[in-house]
Amino acid sequence: MPEITINLAAGRTDEQKKGMMLDITQALVKNLGVTADAVVIQINEAPLNNKMKGGQTFVERAAAAKK
C-alpha cells in the first residue's frame, strides 16, 4: 500500500488539493500497478507564518512580492 505525505504551505482550495490527490493516485495506479483503494495520501499544511524560505516567512515573502 503506497502512502504519500505532502507538505504544503496553507492557501490551496479543497478542490485544488483533491485534484492533486486524484492525479497522484492515478499516477500510482498506472506506474505501480496498485488499485486506487490501496493508495493513501495525507496533506500536512503549514500556516504561512510557520514556514520559511531564504530567511523570510511565507507571509513576508508574499508581502514583498506585492510591492
Residues belonging to the active site: 2
* Average pLDDT, integer, range 20-29: 98
In the predicted model, what is the mean pLDDT of the chain? 96
**CATH code of the domain covering residue 51:** 3.30.429.10
HSE of 38 in the Cβ direction (CA atoms, 13 Å)? 11
* Average pLDDT, integer, range 24-50: 97
Whether 50 has a pLDDT exceeding 90, the answer reads yes
* Average pLDDT, integer, range 31-43: 98
Domain that residue 37 falls in: 3-66
Whether 67 has a pLDDT exceeding 90, the answer reads no
Cell numbers standing for residue 58: 511565507
The domain total for the chain is 1
Q: What pTM was estimated for this model as a whole? A: 0.85
Q: How far apart are CA 56 and CA 50, in angstroms?
A: 10
* Average pLDDT, integer, range 2-19: 97
